[in-house]
A and B are shown apart, each in its own frame.
Chain A
């Protein structure tokens, strides 16, 4: 039973997760202006059809807007703005306050990318180099995320893999599920100890 639609592979989680572009924190809005007819907009149309879902999946907090047939030539526009940095305040509160104010200034810069005549793969690569996080940064982030979830730690199911060592195969299970062999029970051992003392 095949999936419905023209290229239904676009609607699979695997395809969405394979998106390469993860924007830097400063990117807030992405705007794509393209035309529905014309050979020069072909790359832009393919970019919108194939790559926009991937980009939005990887960047859920970036607003992406599409505009059709507004200008003769297609282009991409990115609106940047610095993000707030939360600081911990201490005794030197006035200085910190000023620092926070300085950091909170967003300039509202814009980046314009001309995509006339370009292929959708070229556009994707270009966007990745100018505004995407590099592979190294992504790897470092993935590593940091892995370090947070250490399988050696035990605790509530919500935060950790396992709650108790008894859940691991090959370890002694909880007596609530499987009764312990007689030799391991406390009262048998106490009885043995008492018998050996006498």
Chain B
């Protein structure tokens, strides 16, 4: 049985993803003739994650998972990291899948990102291909707009169809 939990021998090696986490607060300062332009202080410009906490005022706690290669098993596993995102309208609920954009300047000690858009709102997922509301593998809204008159009863519909019993029975082969 292959256990899906990688063991601790990867501690010594630095993955590209670990380099990303360690250099997270890289400051790009450039002094030109007295003017200093500060670039975004985070390496991750655009990230997608799931909201796990909204107890802070105007801030959402977002869990971002990235695939990291285990060096011995050579298999990719999800590695989690929590980011704090500025959400001015407090429109996030726990469980939303959210797209974050890096802020040009750090908003506070931990908040480096802001909410760009809510990709999938929990309970109100909209299928991007059709634009209809969806719940799991079921559509909540009908796909085609029904052009039929719903008032017409079934009996009238049957009368419209001409079904008559045939007199000669079908020939048996």
Give the chain A neighbours of B15 by CB distance below 8 A.
60
Select one of A4, A93, A104, A108 contacting B46, CB under 8 A. A108
Check B67 against A28 for contact (C-beta < 8 Å).
no
| Contact A12:B45 (CB < 8 A) given known A5-B2, A100-B37 | no
The answer to the question of A146 belonging to the interface, with a C-beta cut-off of 8 Å to chain B, is no
Check A65 against B35 for contact (C-beta < 8 Å).
no
B16 CB → nearest A CB, Å = 4
Give chain B interface residues in 16-39, CB to chain A under 8 Å.
16-17, 20, 30, 32-33, 35, 37, 39
Give chain A interface residues in 29-79, CB to chain B under 8 Å.
29, 31, 35, 37-38, 52-53, 56-57, 60-61, 63-65, 67, 69-73, 75, 77, 79
| Contact A28:B45 (CB < 8 A) given known A12-B74, A72-B139 | yes
Give chain B interface residues in 57-109, CB to chain A under 8 Å.
64-67, 69, 73-76, 97, 99, 101
How many A-B contacts are there with CB distance less than 8 Å? 100
How far apart are the CA atoms of A83 and B120 in the complex, in Å?
Answer: 25
In this complex, the interface size class of chain B, counting residues with CB under 8 Å from chain A, is 35 or more
The answer to the question of B51 belonging to the interface, with a C-beta cut-off of 8 Å to chain A, is no
Give the chain A neighbours of B130 by CB distance below 8 A.
73
Check A81 against B46 for contact (C-beta < 8 Å).
yes
- Interface residues of B: mostly helix, strand, loop or mixed? strand
The answer to the question of B171 belonging to the interface, with a C-beta cut-off of 8 Å to chain A, is no
| Contact A112:B137 (CB < 8 A) given known A29-B46, A56-B67, A84-B39 | no
The answer to the question of B125 belonging to the interface, with a C-beta cut-off of 8 Å to chain A, is yes
Count contacts on A: residues with CB < 8 A to the other chain. Answer: 45
Give the chain A neighbours of B30 by CB distance below 8 A.
89
Binding site for A on B (CB under 8 A): 2, 15-17, 20, 30, 32-33, 35, 37, 39-40, 44-48, 64-67, 69, 73-76, 97, 99, 101, 116, 119-120, 125, 127-130, 134, 136-139
Binding site for B on A (CB under 8 A): 4-5, 10-13, 16, 28-29, 31, 35, 37-38, 52-53, 56-57, 60-61, 63-65, 67, 69-73, 75, 77, 79, 81, 83-84, 89, 91, 93, 96-97, 100, 104, 106, 108, 112, 114
What are some 22 contacts across the A-B interface (CB < 8 A)? A5-B2, A10-B75, A11-B74, A13-B74, A31-B48, A53-B69, A53-B76, A60-B16, A61-B16, A63-B44, A70-B136, A71-B129, A71-B134, A72-B134, A72-B137, A72-B139, A75-B128, A84-B40, A89-B30, A93-B32, A97-B35, A112-B128
